[in-house]
Amino acid sequence: MLEKYYPYEYVPSVFAIDYEKLYAQGIRGLIFDLDNTLVHHGDPSTPEVDGLFARLHQLGFQTLILSDNSEERILDFLKNIDSPYVAEAGKPDPAACRKSLEMLNLKADQAVVIGDQIFKDIVCANGAGIPSILVHYITVPGQKIGKTRYVEAALLKLFQNGRYDHRLGHIRLKKGEQA
C-alpha cells in the first residue's frame, strides 16, 4: 500500500548520485524536478549545477526538467543548460512523467526521475513505472518547513532498510566523492 510513496533510492543531493553506475545499468534519461532539487526555490542555476548538466550530457544522458513551475521560471533556470522541459506539469499525475518519456523517446526502464518531494515527484514516477531517486530538499538557514516534510520524514523511516530501498543498487557516491 505504501509502495507508491517509496523512491528506489534516497540520497542527500543530486551531487551524491553515481551517474556512471546508472548509465552502466542502461539508464539514458534523467528527469529532474527543479526547485529544492537542483537549486533552492526560485533561485537561478549555479555554476555547479551547470557543470553537472554538462557532465551528464558528456556521459551520454538526455536530461529533462519536469516542473510544476511556469515556463518563464524554467527558462530563467535553463539559461546555461541545454535541456527540454515540461512546465506546469501537474505532478503527481503520472501523465507528466509519461509525457517526459515521450519527449526523450525512452521507455520507463531507461529513465530515472530525480526530485525532492515524495507526494509529487516520487508518486508521479511510481505511477508511470519509472525508477525514482529522492534527494533531500534544499533549504536555506532559518527557513521553516511545511507539515508535508514531517510526513515525508516518517515515510522515509519506514522506507529505509526495507525491501524497497536501494532498488537501483546503491547508487549513492561515497563520502568525499562528488558527481
- Domain of residue 95, CATH code: 3.40.50.1000
Within a domain: 41: yes
Within a domain: 173: no
The total domain count for the chain is 1
Structural domain including 91 reads 2-159
State how far the alpha carbon of 69 is from the alpha carbons of 77, 79, 125, in Å: 11, 16, 17
Q: What is the pLDDT of residue 169?
A: 80
Task: Quote the strand ranges of the chain, DSSP E.
Answer: 9-11, 29-32, 62-66, 85-86, 111-115, 132-135
**Which of 1-15, 45-59, 116-130, 160-174 is predicted with the least confidence, judged by mean pLDDT?**
160-174
Within a domain: 170: no
Within a domain: 175: no
Within a domain: 174: no
Within a domain: 164: no
Tens digit of pLDDT for each residue in 138-177?
Answer: 987 777 778 888 788 877 777 766 666 677 887 788 766 6
